[in-house]
Structure formats: C-alpha cells, structure tokens
Structure 1
Amino acid sequence: MQQFFNPKSGCVRLMPEPRQADTEEQNTVNTTRINHEDMYSFNIAMTKMIYPSRNINWKPNAVILVPGDKWQYSLCASSVVHFPINAPIMFTERNYLPEISIKEIQRMGPTGNEVPAQVLIAGPVSRAVENILKMAGLTVYRITDTEDVYESCVETADFRLNIIPSASEEGRKDIIVISGQDYSEGITASFYAAHKGTPIILVEQDIVPEPVRIFINDNKDKNYYILGSEKTVGSKVEEEISGIIDKDVIRISASNPYTISVKFSEYASEVDTFGWKHNTNDGWAFAFGELKRWYNIVSANLLAHLGKHTPLLLTDKNYLPDAVAEYVVRVNPKKENPAMPPYMHSYVLGSFNDITHNVQVEIEKVLDVDGKMEH
C-alpha cells in the first residue's frame, strides 16, 4: 500500500500499489499499438484506422473476403489490396459472416469502381455467406473458391496479373515465392504484396505443386523472388523454377525469420525496381508483428498500402531481436537539428499478450535516437 496525504483534510489515505498494467499505456511517443487480440476485432480496428469515414477520397473500391481458418488464403490475397483495387482483407467463417464484419463492410461503403464487384471472395467461402452479402445489397465476385491452397493462390495471382493488373511495375513484372507449409519466413511478403500488388505463389519445401508449375510456365517473363531460406523453400525448388523461366531466381534469405524481415526491408533488387529499399538514413515507419498472430499481420498490411507505407519487421513477444534493433538504429535519420524532420514511427500489432509493453519500450528506444538527445 502507498500513503497519500490530503493537505485539506489533514488525513493520510492508504492506496493500493498501481498494477503493472496501469503503467502500460498502449502508445508511446513514436509507437502506435493496435491493441486487439481477437481476429475480427483487430481486423476491423485496422479498417477503421485506414478508412475512418465514407467522407474520404480514398474510400475502398472493394473488400477482399477470405476464410479465417487458414493463413494461405489471406496471405495470397494480399496482392489484391493494392491499387487500382484499393481493398482491405476481411475475415469470415466459411459458412457464416459475423455481424460485426457485415456492419463494417456497410460502414466503409465500397464503391465498386474499377472492380468486378464490391466484395471479392478469395477462398472456399460458402454460398450462404455470399447470399448474406447480396441480401445486404452488395455485389459479389469470386476470385477463387478452391480448397487446395496452392491452386487457390495461383488463381488469385492470375486475377492480380490478368484481370485487374497492379498499378505498379513491381506488381506486373515480379512474383514472390514463399513456403505454403510454414509462413514464418515468408509472411513479410504480405506487406510488400499490399504495397505494390506483387503476386505471391506457394511451394512445398522440395516440390513445386502442379498448378504452380503451370502458372510459372505461363509467366516465364516475370522475375521470381524466393523469400525464405532453404529450411522453408529448398534448393530443388529454386533450381526447378530457374529451369522453367531460364534465368536465375533471386533469394532473400537469412538464418531466422527476424533477420529475414530486416533483409527484406532493406532489399533493393539489382535486376529491376523490386524491394523496399529502406536502407538509408531518411526517416522511416515500420510495423512490428509477432509470428503467432498471422491474422494480425495480414490485417495490418493496409499500413503498407496507404499512409506511411510500412514494411513489416518481426519481433518476439518478449524481446526485440538484436538484428531488428540494430537495423532500426542504423536507418535512423541523420539530422543537424534533432527537433526537425524527418522522424521515425512504428506500429505495434496486437495486445500486450501478443507483444509485451517492455518490447514496445525497446522499439521506442531505437526509434529516432537523435531526436531523444539533449539539444
């Protein structure tokens, strides 16, 4: 207990010690936390942040509806987020659309401009869900309803390339290859795909599934980038893809997912314009995600699409990996006057049970180091 003296009454009151949670403000000077645990509440918190009103000139043209039970559908749908489609990914049950989700779609009021429909379904979602949407007065288009994740991903990539091509060169000329079995090393592709509209395809560790092989054969003119080490995408797959396209496949790799997220954030291709290129001291924004909450990461790829256009950096729940901390310090802006722009900022994806307050403080400490110096 703590003692507090009231000078007016002359009394001393005993007050309980503040709980640790009382000091855990969800935001710091340079970090903003999206403080939700549930998949749907986090998803809708992101759409409300990016599309806060109907009275904005960046209203979504559509929403992308995906089943929330498998990460592959939503990760592959990330490329559909980018312009000219301009659509957030939203989750649903396969046979039931939660009321909070349909209300949020109606609140945003997707325009339907430059897209086949206001709701684009990417994954095996039932006709019952489609009927709910239509009864709400929304138009619906199925990009894919295939159960097989490899085939579904290829159908989504084909839609992005050929039905509504990306507004960016990187979305029309490049393909990202990741593991369809383990998302840990490839999940950062979700942010870049939303940023540029670059399609994602899935492979097994040592096998290129038949639908994927056919897709690659039909798209030999693209540049292929493997995101991940040989632990998730083996050398046999790299060699097979290279043989099909008759040129080198480029791999972005490191010894662990955290360092891979750094390598991707700073990557600049030598063959085209692919890559985040966050490797200079210009002042940047980042999003920090934890691997267990893949659905938070996919929901938050809107941060790469609009606003500060953030890459994703991965962190552990309980500590900020050295490779990530050192990278953020390395790209801090060098400025003569610390009180002046450019500045750094980061988003923390999830609740304190996902990424602790201590980790958020560590992120704050490595952001805008010069700005915290005495001046």
Structure 2
Amino acid sequence: MSFNSYLRPRILLAAAAALVAGAAVWLAVANGNAGAAANAGSTGTTTTAAAPAEPAAGTSNTNLYPFGAPSGGVSVKVPPPPTEPTLSPTYTTKTTTRLYGANPYEEAVSVTQHIWPAVVPLNNPAENNNDPDRPWGVTLVTPDDPLTAITATPLIHFPDDAPILYVTSSGIPDVTLNELKRLGDTGISRFNNVDAFLVGAAANSGVENQLKSIGLKYVTVTGGDAPTLADNVDKLYGSIEDPDTGVPTMPGYNTAIGSMDGKDWQYLLPATHWVAHMPTGLLWVHTDSVPQPTIDALKRRGGMGNIYLFGGPKQISPAVAKQLSQYGRIVRVTNDDPVAFNAPPVDSPEATAIAFAKMYDPMGMFGWKITGPGHGFSLVNVNDWQAAVASAPLSHLGFHAPLILTSSATTLTSDLDGFFTSVSPFFLDSPADGPYNMTYVIGNWDQISWDQQARVDYISEMHNRRVVGSNTGSSYADSQPGA
C-alpha cells in the first residue's frame, strides 16, 4: 500500500446554501450518458443509445395494444435539475426502479446518482455528517477484473462511505470524471480526509494524474494476487473501522470467503452487498487449498471469528472448510439443507443469492433474513458482475437492497418468481398500512428486459389477502430481525 496526499481546493458557496439545502434529487442514469466511455481502452469515446424502433402500422399486437400501438417517441422529455446538468432520468414502476447503464461505467454512475444528491454545500455545518447527501469518499476499480473489484467492496461501508466507480488502466472516463466532480465527496475524516481508494489496476499514473488535477487525495491498494490484495484491503479497512484491533468488527469478527477458481467467484457476489452493509472481511481460497494471506487475515481475528463460506463443497471442499475451522466457526452459505433435502440440491450463484437473502445466523448477526415484505432488492444478471459490484451501495444506504441474481435476460426464472411472490406484501385492513418492496433493476435492456422488470412489479404489488385465490405473500412480521 502507498499513500499520496494532495490538497484539494474547495469552492464554498455559502450564499447558495439556502437555495439548495431543501432540494431533493431522486434520479439515476437512464440512457447513455453523453460522456460515457464505450470501452476500457479509451477515456474520450462516447456511446449513444439507439432509439427503439416503432412498430409498423397494422403490425402491433392487439392483446398488448387493443387501440393501436403508441408512436411519436418519448412522451415526456425530462430535463435534469437546473443545478445538476449531468443527472439523467430513470424508468420506474410502482415497486421497481431501473438504474440503467450501457456499460459498467454508466451502471456505477447510475447507482451513485440515485443514492447521493450532493446538493448541500460543503460549508454547511452539517454536511460532513450528512451522509445521505454526498459520500465521504469513493472506491475506484477497473471493470476487467472481477476478483479485484469484488475484493474492494468492504471499503464501501462506514466509516469510508466510498461507493464503487469504474476507471480504466490508463485513466478516468468522462462519465466517471464528471460524477466525481458532481459527488464532491467530503473526504474520510477518520482517514486523513482521503477522497479515493485506488484498488488494483486503478492505481495507475493516468488515474492518479487526473485525480491530482482536480484536487482529490487518494491512497493506492494493491497486491500481487487476489488473496494478497484481500489481505491488504482487510488491513486497511480494519485500521480505519476499528483502529483498536485493526480488524473490521460489528458485531463480531465476521468474514466472507469465496473460491477464486474458475467462475466460482460468482458465488461470492451476494457477499459484496453484505460487506457494503456491515463491516465484514472478504477473503479468498482455492477449492482445495488456503493461500497464506488468507490465513494471515484470519489469524488477526484470534480464533474468535465467524467464517462464512459462499458455495457448496464443489466450490470450497470439506478439507478446506476443516482447515479454516482452526481460525473460527464455519458456516456455509448455500441452498442446501440436510433436513429438507435427502441429497444436496443443484447449487448455483443464483440459488446462493436467494438463500443468502433468506438466511440469518444469530451467532454472527449475519444474513438478511428476508422471508417477508418491506425490503429492497438489487436484481442483476449473473453475467454482469460489474453491475453486481457497482450496485453494492444500494445495500449500504436507502432500502438496503441485497443482491438477487438472474440467469435470464428475458424472463423471470421460476425460482425468482417464487421468491418475489413469497415476499410480496398483503393487507388485511388497508393497503396504506404497508409495508412495500422496492426492486432495483441494474443494467440495460439486454441484461434484464423490460418485461422481466414488469413481472417483478406485477407480483410485488400489495394485494388483499381476503380475496379468494390470494394465497401468497407475507407480512412484515415474517422477516423481523432476531433469532
């Protein structure tokens, strides 16, 4: 790790405080941002989304459009707020919100634009502690390395409050640079007012020079391989979050572990949203061996930790689990249940995400325990890991929306349909009593279709349990925190 410090000029507009302090912005990127980078090799290339083709006259589906298909393009052209020219509108329904991005850079910006309005001036006495308005820092990674990006996610949580944004191996794309300027983070007070963590390949001279030019203070975090990088991130975050011990803790020394072999890292994607929600270590193993940096990180916990293994024995072998048990209590995060299943069920990252959303371990206060309504969810295509990582701040603030993975770009799979139906809200007296769900759908229409988003909305709406045939859904009491 290396540390580089630079003074960052701040323009403090006291006169503007009264004008903007009461403003509220709830917008995210919906269409291609004019400054977005089209690929990881260029910081100046832009993308433009093609307008959808209108159906030819007389060819529309009469079941969808009984009175004829609409035409004429976008009905309501939404301009950005006068003081926020880079914000873009989003596509929402009653219980879903599309955070659109044509590429990873836009997906990440879409998330940060949704969460942080950044309208209160920095000279406002409350701004440094007003987390919902602007972040305290940012975490920069590249969109070509899933192990590194996943490894960086513990840095999102407090006291860093540093969401993920994507850069390239040679610089900062315009869409990301503009968002850094819009966010205007406060600096991490508990870490020498550092503005940015540069993780892995994001720690390059191109990125560093651009950050210097706009006055951001940064620290670089690197490692020769994923386990070493994870150990370094763990030490860095631990030193900030719990300087007394140097180990992340709340309420105990919890650690999420995944396999770095093949594509087994997909099983650990749901953990990215948890570590953004609660201080937790995130480490790597091989299916049949434990790297030394992972052992070093676990030893710092003095044998007092809860170790959560994401995936079944094909991802992390029983021999590895037994070796890890020397350093703490072992719990697998999987869809298997030896009481419910005579033989282990087929496992997958998608099934693991649902299982983790339902799971709760009272020993470590670990898991979302979502078996009823009143919650948020982040729906991401399993092949769009960049969106999974970038959307982790949605579990950090707001609806605290755990990650749900879909394997289909066009339809809601039966497992997901069943899960969303099971946690849909019902009412007995009044639908105004709530609670309500919100599902964030991340990415473009090719990642998750509009029809799939609409299906989630359809089954997530409040329904009357007294109506004949209404035999699904839950009440908020079904997923109250507790043992």
Superposed pair shares fold, TM > 0.5: yes
Alignment-derived partner of residue 98 in structure 2: 33
TM-superposed deviation, 1:193:
0.8
Asked if the contact 1:282/1:332 (under 8 Å) is kept, the reply is yes
Q: Determine which of 191, 210, 214 is the counterpart of 1:136.
A: 214
Q: TM-score, normalised by structure 2?
A: 0.69
Alignment of 1:200-279 (within 5 A): 200-219=282-301, 220-242=303-325, 244-245=326-327, 247-254=328-335, 255-279=347-371
CA drift of 1:320 comes to 1.9
SS in 1 for 2:431: coil
Alignment counterpart, residue 184 of structure 2, candidates 109, 113, 123: 109
How far apart are residue 238 of structure 1 and its match?
0.9
In structure 1, how many angstroms separate the alpha carbons of the residues matched to 2:465 and 2:248?
Answer: 37
Deviation track 1:256-312 (CA, whole Å, cap 9, x = no partner) reads 222211110111104231111112x34222111111111111111111011100111
Matched, 1:100 2:193: no
TM-score by length of 1: 0.87
Counterpart Cα distance in 2 of 1:168 and 1:200: 10
The code of the aligned residue for 2:304 comes to D
Larger displacement relative to structure 2 (57-66 or 26-35): 26-35
Distance 2:101 2:175 in 1: 15
Whole-angstrom CA distance in 2 between matches of 1:259 and 1:198:
22
Letter in 1 for 2:160: I
TM-fit CA distance, 1:236: 2.0
SS in structure 2 opposite 1:195? coil
Amino acid at match of 1:194: A
What is the aligned-residue identity percentage? 23
Distance in 2 separating the partners of 1:299 and 1:307: 15
Change (3 A) 1:64 1:70: same
SS in 1 for 2:329: coil
Letter in 1 for 2:458: K
Confirm or deny that 1:365 pairs with 2:458. Answer: yes
1:146 paired residue number: 223
Distance 1:208 1:161, change over 3 A: same
Question: SS state of the match for residue 251, structure 1?
Answer: strand
Aligned residue pair count: 358
Post-superposition CA distance 1:22-75 (Å, at most 9, x none): 99x943221111121211111111111111223272221111111222011221
Select the residue among 99, 114, 139 that pairs with 1:49. 114
What is the distance in 1 between the residues matched to 2:226 and 2:266?
Answer: 17
Q: What is the rounded CA distance, in whole Å, between the counterparts of 2:390 and 2:151 in structure 1?
A: 13
RMSD (Å), alpha carbons: 2.7
Equivalent residue letter for 1:251: R
Question: In 1, are the aligned partners of 2:164 and 2:390 still within 8 Å (CA)?
Answer: yes
| Structure 1 CA distance for aligned equivalents of residues 251 and 139 of structure 2 | 18
Asked if the contact 2:94–2:461 (Cα under 8 Å) also holds between the matched residues in 1, the reply is no
Q: 2:393 aligns with which of 298, 302, 306?
A: 302
Residues in 1 aligned to 2:149 and 2:355: alpha-carbon distance in whole angstroms: 23
Q: 1:258 to 1:123 in 2, by over 3 A?
A: same
User: Relative to structure 1, is the Cα distance of residues 338 and 285 closer, same or farther in structure 2, using a 3 angstrom cutoff?
Assistant: farther
Secondary structure at 2:290's aligned position in 1?
A: coil
> Counterpart of 1:163?
240
Q: Deviations over 1:79-117 (max 9, x none)?
A: 111111111111111222223222211211111122341
Q: For the residues of structure 2 that align with 1:292 and 1:80, how far apart are their CA atoms?
A: 23
Q: Tell me, which stretches of 5 or more residues in structure 1 are unaligned?
A: 4-14
Distance 1:52 1:147 in 2: 37
Structure 1 residues 133, 286: closer, same or farther in 2, change over 3 A?
Answer: same
Superposed displacement of residue 339, structure 1 = 2.1
Q: Separation in 1 of the partners of 2:224 and 2:165?
A: 18
| Alignment check: 8 A CA contact 2:428 2:466 kept | no
1:196 and 2:271 aligned: no
Which structure's relative contact order is higher, taking Cα pairs within 8 Å and 6+ residues apart?
A: 1
| Structure 2 counterpart of 1:126, from 204, 207, 225 | 204
For structure 2, list consecutive stretches of 5 or more residues without a partner in the other structure: 1-55, 59-66, 76-89, 121-126, 336-346, 469-483
Q: Out of 331, 350, 357, which is 2:443 matched to?
A: 350
Matched position secondary structure for 1:186: helix
Deviation at 1:17, TM superposition (A): 5.7
C-alpha displacement of 1:171: 6.7
Q: Distance in 2 between matches of 1:292 and 1:31?
A: 21
* Contact 1:329/1:369 (<8 A) preserved: no
Match of 1:180 in 2: 260
Larger helix share, 1 or 2: 1
The separation in 2 between residues aligned to 1:373 and 1:17, in whole angstroms, is: 36
Q: Which amino acid aligns with 1:161?
A: G
Give me the whole-angstrom Cα distance separating, in 2, the residues matched to 1:272 and 1:214. 21
